[in-house]
Amino acid sequence: MDFETRLIARPNAAEVLRKELSAPRYKAAAIALGTNTDPYQPCERDLRISRACLEVLSDFNHPVAIVTKGAMVERDLDILAPMAAKGLVRVGISVTTLDPDLSRRMEPRAPLPARRLAAIRRLTEAGVPVRVMTSPVVPGLTDHELEALLAAGAEAGADAASWIMLRLPREVSELWQEWLAEHEPGRAAKVMARLREMHGGRDYDPRWGHRMRGEGRYAEMTAQRFKAACKRLGLQERTEALRCDLFARPPQPGDQLALF
């Protein structure tokens, strides 16, 4: 609960971003918004920090990739759609399960699966490319839904997909096992056995290139299922890079006016 109630906001984030992008030596490279924490948490509705940052990125024609499990991203379509038309933005939306009951228990304050799929549909209808993220895949709990999740994302308009196996770093493992004991006691042993099988007997292996997928027969089978489903559904695993060549600093206060 601390993660959701003890929040640190950066109200001047857009101002700092504008200053950084205005630096003479700055070279444009795609910015990822939401890889550390969701940019559309409930407090964003009032603080509008993510929107302010998107406004700055739009002013500079700067590429950005957004990752979220929220539907509030729809609010910013007036910014995202014009950016998408220039090849400057891509959105990834996480859909962990199609079971509304499991979704409500596992992610109690996040939008239900149908709402997330509706967000994918609305974004893609406005011309914003969307990746459906079947993340995390929970072995023994949601893994059987992998193909159905990808099909639902494709039907909603997603053109790409990705997946990550459930990760349990540090104190997350204890919290997760407490959740299993309360909500899925009959599957708890199977879930943890599968995870440990992929991480050399441990709950988690932090090695780069390993921590997102695990290794072994089960991890390989999941990767093969994902690849086959993407091929059948026309979902890309890799997409074209966002454009950096359009980046330009807008006129700043005090700039010398051009002669022509």
Q: What is the pLDDT of residues 32-87, one digit of tens each?
A: 999 888 999 888 999 999 999 999 999 999 999 999 998 999 999 999 999 999 99
List the chain domain ranges: 21-166+216-233
Write phi, then psi, for 4 (nearest 5 degrees): -100, -15
**pTM of the full predicted structure?**
0.91
What span, in angstroms and rounded, lies between the C-alpha atoms of 13 and 128?
24
In angstroms, the first-to-last Cα distance of the chain is 58
DSSP 6: S
Write phi, then psi, for 216 (nearest 5 degrees): 105, 180
| Token reading at 115 | 């709402």
Which residues in 112-212 belong to E strands, given as ranges? 130-137, 160-165
Segment (H or E) for 93: strand 89-94
| Residue whose C-alpha is closest to residue 128's, from 95, 159, 96, 162 | 159
Q: Residue 239 contacts by C-beta under 8 Å, 6 or more apart in sequence?
A: 90, 129, 131, 159, 160
CATH 3.20.20.70 applies to domain 21-166+216-233: yes
User: What does the DSSP assignment read for 47-58?
Assistant: H-HHHHHHHHHH
Quote the pLDDT of residue 209: 78
Peptide bond between residue 169 and the one before it cis (omega within 30 degrees of 0):
no
DSSP 33: E
pLDDT in tens, the chain (260 residues): 666 677 888 999 999 999 999 999 999 999 999 988 899 988 899 999 999 999 999 999 999 999 999 899 999 999 999 999 999 999 999 999 999 999 999 998 899 999 999 999 999 999 999 999 999 999 999 999 999 999 999 999 999 999 999 999 989 999 999 999 999 999 999 999 999 999 999 999 888 878 889 999 999 999 999 999 999 999 998 899 999 999 999 987 666 655 55
Q: In what order do the strands lie in the sheet with 64-68?
A: 31-33, 64-68, 89-94, 130-137, 160-165
What span, in angstroms and rounded, lies between the C-alpha atoms of 94 and 153?
10
